[in-house]
């Protein structure tokens, strides 16, 4: 583990150079990893672990869409694909990758298979941080660890196949065996992390819920919608409004930010663009700062967690979710996006 200076703050990080895949495989050579849940994170983490040479099995309900998806991905019933309880019984490491609501529902089933010395792995600190709301309380004689890739399981898998990595945080909530650090870092390397940075379950969930509701998803959609509406209200065509709001950002500017930072992106734009961005960014910061402060407060006090538990546990949750996603999908802005994407040169080769 190395200590690196980030903006004046020293953090603990683990890189693939100091903790290579060969070391990770050696540490987990006698372990059986059961992936419980094959939805958002499950496929990417499971397939990356398998391709990296780890002993992986899947635990999933039979006759479900995700069971069929697992088979389509190459997992074999009775060999690497099992019912949830059978997979948990076989495993020494249980990767609990169901949705937060799903984890609450299935907890009593999982808990009885957490025999001494096993490891319980999360990719989200929700269940442990808000334990008074989830009732997820692990036995004291198992390791409780976390690896949280900073992106979707789809991105984790895509970058792995490209020979790249997606950065992840790691945390140890409970070290019952004395080997929790080696286990969690080996798993982090195994799932395809670029580098691993240390956190806690609580910090992970607070930052994750804030990010999802903020710049990663909620805020960016709100900003897109507001700018698109202003442009349309002032007579700009859908194509022009979408290109200036979304397409140029995602296809041209964000890759420059990812490459070398915001100043690099500014330096590669016109002087007129630079001047305007430098004049206006603090106004946007000052306008949005109270919203983010309110958001973080709602996350920290548990209100956002409780809202997720209440709504995502309802029987008609999926129906309501589909209706909300349909509203986004059928808005003029994102219908325009479908057409614009079809016109990209790579789609027309």
DSSP per residue, 15-40:
ETTTS-HHHHHHHTTT--EEEE--SS
Domain with CATH 1.10.1040.10 in the chain: 211-348
Q: What is the tens place of the pLDDT at every residue in 4-57? A: 778 788 888 999 999 999 999 999 999 999 999 998 899 999 999 999 999 999
Q: What is the mean pLDDT of residues 216-237?
A: 97
Residue 63 — pLDDT band, cuts 50, 70, 90? confident
Instruction: Give the torsion through C-alpha atoms of 223, 225, 228, 232, to 10 deg.
Output: -140
**pLDDT number for residue 349:** 57
The token pair at 249 is: 């950002």
**pLDDT number for residue 38:** 94
Active site (annotated) includes residue 113 = no
Selected catalytic residue, list 50, 113, 124, 183: 124
- 2-198: CATH superfamily: NAD(P)-binding Rossmann-like Domain (3.40.50.720)
Measured in residues, the chain has a length of 349
Asked if 156 and 167 touch (Cβ cutoff 8 Å), the reply is no
CA distance linking residue 72 with residue 86, whole number of Å: 20
Domain with CATH 3.40.50.720 in the chain: 2-198
CA 187-134-306 angle, to 5 degrees, is 110
Task: Considering only residues 200 and 2, tell me which one the structure prediction assigns the higher pLDDT.
Answer: 200
Asked if 48 and 192 touch (Cβ cutoff 8 Å), the reply is yes
| Whether pLDDT at 212 is above 90 | yes
211-348: CATH class: mainly alpha
Instruction: Report DSSP letters for 310-343, one per residue.
Output: HHHTSTTHHHHHHHHHHHHHTSHHHHHHHHHHHT
Whole-prediction pTM value? 0.90
Asked if 197 and 11 touch (Cβ cutoff 8 Å), the reply is yes
């Amino acid at each position: 583990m190395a200590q690196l200076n980030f903006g004046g703050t020293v953090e603990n990080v683990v890189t693939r150079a100091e903790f290579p895949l060969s070391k990770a495989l050696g540490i987990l050579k006698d372990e059986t990893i059961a992936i419980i849940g094959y939805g958002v994170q499950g496929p990417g983490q499971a397939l990356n672990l398998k391709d990296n040479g780890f002993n992986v099995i899947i635990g999933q309900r039979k006759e479900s869409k995700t069971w069929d998806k697992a088979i389509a991905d190459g997992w074999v019933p009775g060999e690497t694909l099992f019912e949830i309880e059978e997979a948990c019984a076989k495993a020494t490491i249980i990767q609990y990758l169901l949705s937060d609501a799903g984890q609450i529902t299935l907890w009593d089933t999982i808990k009885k298979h957490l025999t001494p010395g096993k490891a319980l792995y999360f990719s989200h600190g929700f269940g442990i941080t808000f334990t008074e709301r989830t009732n997820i309380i692990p036995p004291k004689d198992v390791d409780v660890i976390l690896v949280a890739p900073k992106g979707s399981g789809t991105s984790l898998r895509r970058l792995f196949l490209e020979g790249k990595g997606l950065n992840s945080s790691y945390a140890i909530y409970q070290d019952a065996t004395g080997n929790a650090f080696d286990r969690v870092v080996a798993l982090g390397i195994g799932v395809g992390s670029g580098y691993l940075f240390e956190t806690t379950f609580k910090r992970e969930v607070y930052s994750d819920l804030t990010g999802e509701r903020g710049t990663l998803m909620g805020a960016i959609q709100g900003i897109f919608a507001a700018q698109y509406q202003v442009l349309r209200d002032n007579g700009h065509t859908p194509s022009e409004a979408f290109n200036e709001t979304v397409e140029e950002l995602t296809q041209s500017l964000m890759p420059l930010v990812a490459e070398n930072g915001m100043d690099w992106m500014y330096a590669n734009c016109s002087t007129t663009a630079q001047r305007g961005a430098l004049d206006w960014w603090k106004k946007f910061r000052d306008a949005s700062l109270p919203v983010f402060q309110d958001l973080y407060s709602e996350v920290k006090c548990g209100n956002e967690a409780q809202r997720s538990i209440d709504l995502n546990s309802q029987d008609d949750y999926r129906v309501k979710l589909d209706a909300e996603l349909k509203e986004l999908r059928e808005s003029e802005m994102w219908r325009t996006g479908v057409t614009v994407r079809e016109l990209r040169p790579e789609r027309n080769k």
